[in-house]
Structure 1
Amino acid sequence: MSENIKELIEKEIEGARAACDTSGGSSQECAAAWDAVEELQAEAAHQREKGTGKTSLEAYCDSNPDADECRVYDN
């Protein structure tokens, strides 16, 4: 995950806290600000998944190279 998105998430969290302090915890502004934080966090998670470039089987085989599912046969 890039530093850029981490910084953006931190700024959005600060903004959400400020919005909730100003408008109240049950206000629409507060809810919208936290929605923005959640969207950025979801994007960060997506970027992390995309960055690995491995399928779940490849990741499993990296951790368990002797497993039957990970055997490679030459013809």
Structure 2
Amino acid sequence: MTAIYNVAPNAFNADKDEATDLEKAILSAIAEARSTCELNGDGSPNCAVAWDIVEELQAEKSHQLQAKKHKNSLESFCDLHPEALECLIYDI
């Protein structure tokens, strides 16, 4: 089993296409793990390695989701209405 998956290495630069690439890689790794375990048996080292790959890809997806900055309601409002009094920033 020699599968190489290229996924988004930097969570801060991940865009929507890379997220779908990561999801595709996870689905492909799951299919590969299932077929590997069917061929070699559930207790084989190759089966364990295949599921480790799936676990690592899922962990990367989780890390990318946590790395995204979540805006609060004021930040969302200011994105839509930067001229509002609540959004003005003064340097004194």
Could you state the TM-score of these two structures normalised by the residue count of structure 2? 0.56
Unaligned runs of 5+ residues in structure 1 are 63-75
Bigger proportion of residues as helix: 1
Give the letter for the 1:23 counterpart.
N
Counterpart residue number, 2:34 = 17
Match of 1:35?
52
CA distance in 2, matches of 1:37, 1:43: 10
Match of 1:73 in 2: none
The one of 44, 61, 70 aligned to 1:44:
61
Measured after TM superposition, the shift of residue 50 of structure 1 is 0.6
Q: Within the alignment, does 1:8 sit opposite 2:17 as a pair?
A: no
Q: Residue deviations 1:26-59, cap 9 Å, x none?
A: 00000000000000000000000012x14xxx77
Q: Distance in 2 between matches of 1:37 and 1:28?
A: 14
CA distance in 2, matches of 1:27, 1:17: 12
Secondary structure of the corresponding residue to residue 44 of structure 1: helix
| Cα distance in structure 1, aligned partners of 2:62 and 2:28 | 17
Moved segments of 4+, more than 4 Å = none
Count, aligned residues = 56
